[in-house]
């Protein structure tokens, strides 16, 4: 009998990946995937960048590059992040093949089989899968309206026999909960973690996709605040600000952590694609990234507002959700007695797919919410699809009342 590693045995296919196969069915409305709309990609800018490359630049693009990333991209990305207040002078930047690779490398660097890590509940399924692949013991702490519950986090830390290897959080436009940590919660969390010798992994794939200028102070990354006594490992992505097909992400981490992560990456894939690094570098240097983000933010805002309006007009009073301030997602809270998995089949039968809330719980226990994304769905399709989910919820509630 084939003997797999224990970490591989712990892995399960993501419901999101399984559901994405339905998206190709004719007529299906998909609120499942957290991906940009194809029609929103900056194709003209990509064409212009490639056509303007010199022969030497194209040769670099086709060749292996340094494990840490092409020096030109590291330079331009450092400048981009410095404008946002990130500590690029005291931390080191490592280019990765998507931000999930950054999270995976950090997990590899910290986790021995059986080690505890703390995540929010709900949490990003990709990160949970990465932690499980190293046989981590995942401990969770609930979110409230301002972020991770500090009271519950304190209780969790005090009750653990062994110190967790790290705390993993997504403070800005959370996946899946769609919420935004308040400035006060970010500062208080840094203070709580001070001198505990527990690194914080701050996952920030969506921070550039804010809708309201008033939120700029709240979306300031935690790593940009004074955090002496707390090691913060920051991860980011090009997937949401240019395109997932580039397969580029990055981590900004303290130098001694960087040294270990670079060695791990070297053993994983040697280097990230030089071709897409050249494109991303030019996209940043030309200023196209800022122009593109200004444009795409407006479209995502339009879709988010349409989603919120459709929910208000379709959902019964016993259903609640977050009003999107940025990012890709709405987290819909169901009434007691209804689980989101039970709604999936009737919704799919009527042509709509979403992601059940239990997908984002490492133990698949909490299923009182569902995630719907508006990022790759035009307004007219949102208006058609949301009432179908609402109808499935109403039918389930009627059945609940009859019991």
pLDDT confidence of residue 359: 93
Domain boundary (237, 268, 288) is at 288
Query: How much is the pLDDT for 291?
Result: 95
Beta-strand relationship, 352-353 and 369-373: unpaired
Same domain, 280 and 323: no
Same domain? For 247 and 317 the reply is no
Q: Which CATH number fits the domain that encloses residue 57?
A: 3.40.640.10
CATH number for the domain that contains residue 366: 3.90.1150.10
pLDDT in tens, 44-84: 999 999 999 999 999 999 999 999 999 999 999 999 999 99
How many domains does one find in the chain? 2
Closest to 141 (Cα-Cα) out of 339, 357, 366, 370: 366
Q: What is the pLDDT of residue 217?
A: 87
Are 206 and 351 found together in one domain? no
Task: Fill in the DSSP letter of residue 194.
Answer: T
Question: Based on the domain organization, do 80 and 212 belong to the same domain?
Answer: yes
Q: If the chain, 403 residues long, is cut into consecutive pieces of 10 residues, what is the mean pLDDT of each piece? A: 74 59 73 91 96 97 98 98 97 98 98 98 97 97 97 97 97 97 97 97 97 92 98 96 95 98 97 98 96 96 98 97 96 96 92 94 94 96 97 93 72
Are 212 and 361 found together in one domain? no
Q: Is residue 48 part of a domain?
A: no
β-strand partners of 170: none
Q: Are residues 64 and 205 in the same domain?
A: yes
Residue 92 lies in a domain: yes
Q: Are residues 165 and 303 in the same domain?
A: no
Q: How far is CA 139 from the centre of its chain?
A: 19
User: Within this chain, do residues 397 and 248 fall inside the same structural domain, yes or no?
Assistant: no
233 shares its domain with 316: no
Write out the residue range of the structural domain in which residue 265 sits: 53-288
* Domain shared by 253 and 334, yes or no: no
The dihedral built from the CA positions of residue 150, 156, 157 and 159, taken in this order, carries a sign that is: positive
Whole-prediction pTM: 0.95
Q: Among 228, 258, 288, give the residue marking a domain's end.
A: 288
Q: Identify the H or E element spanning 392.
A: helix 379-402
Phi, psi at 30, each rounded to 5°: -105, 115
Structural domain ending residue among the three candidates 235, 270, 288: 288
pLDDT of residue 381: 96
Q: Which residues contact residue 188 at a Cβ distance below 8 angstroms, ignoring those fewer than 6 apart? A: 150
Q: Do 123 and 185 have their domain in common?
A: yes
């Amino acid at each position: 009998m084939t003997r797999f590693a224990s970490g591989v045995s712990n892995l399960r296919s993501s419901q999101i990946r399984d559901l994405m196969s339905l998206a190709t069915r004719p007529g299906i409305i998909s609120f499942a995937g957290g991906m940009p709309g194809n029609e929103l990609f900056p194709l003209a800018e990509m064409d212009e960048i490639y056509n303007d490359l010199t022969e030497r630049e194209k040769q670099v693009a086709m060749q292996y590059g340094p494990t840490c990333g092409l020096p030109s991209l590291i330079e331009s990305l450092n400048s981009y992040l410095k404008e946002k207040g990130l500590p690029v002078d005291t931390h080191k930047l490592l280019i990765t093949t998507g931000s999930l690779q950054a999270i995976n490398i950090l997990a590899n660097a910290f986790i021995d089989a059986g080690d505890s890590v703390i995540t929010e509940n709900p949490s990003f399924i990709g990160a949970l899968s990465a932690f499980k692949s190293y046989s981590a013991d995942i401990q969770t702490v609930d979110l409230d309206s301002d972020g991770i519950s500090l009271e519950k986090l304190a209780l969790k830390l005090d009750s653990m026999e062994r110190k967790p290897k790290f705390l993993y959080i997504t403070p800005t436009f959370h996946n899946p909960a769609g919420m935004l940590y308040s400035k006060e919660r970010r500062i208080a969390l840094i203070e709580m973690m001070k001198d505990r010798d527990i690194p914080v992994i701050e996952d920030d794939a969506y921070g550039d996709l804010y809708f309201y200028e008033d939120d700029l102070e709240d979306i300031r990354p935690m790593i940009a605040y004074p955090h002496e006594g707390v090691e913060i490992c920051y991860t980011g992505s090009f997937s949401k600000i240019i395109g997932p097909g580039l397969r580029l992400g990055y981590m900004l981490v303290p130098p001694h952590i960087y040294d270990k992560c670079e060695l791990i990456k070297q053993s994983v894939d040697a280097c990230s694609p030089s071709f897409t690094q050249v494109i991303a570098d030019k996209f940043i240097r030309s200023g196209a990234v800022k122009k593109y983000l200004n444009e795409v933010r407006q479209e995502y805002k339009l879709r988010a507002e349409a989603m919120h309006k459709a929910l208000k007009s379709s959902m019964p009073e016993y259903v609640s959700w977050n009003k999107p301030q940025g990012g890709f997602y709405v987290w819909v809270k169901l009434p007691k007695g209804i689980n989101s998995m039970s709604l999936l089949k009737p919704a799919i039968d009527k042509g709509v797919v979403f992601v059940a809330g239990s997908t984002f719980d490492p133990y698949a226990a909490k299923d009182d919410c569902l995630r719907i994304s508006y990022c790759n769905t035009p307004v007219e399709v949102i208006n058609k699809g949301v009432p179908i989910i609402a109808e499935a919820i109403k039918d389930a509630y009627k059945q609940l009342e009859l019991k």
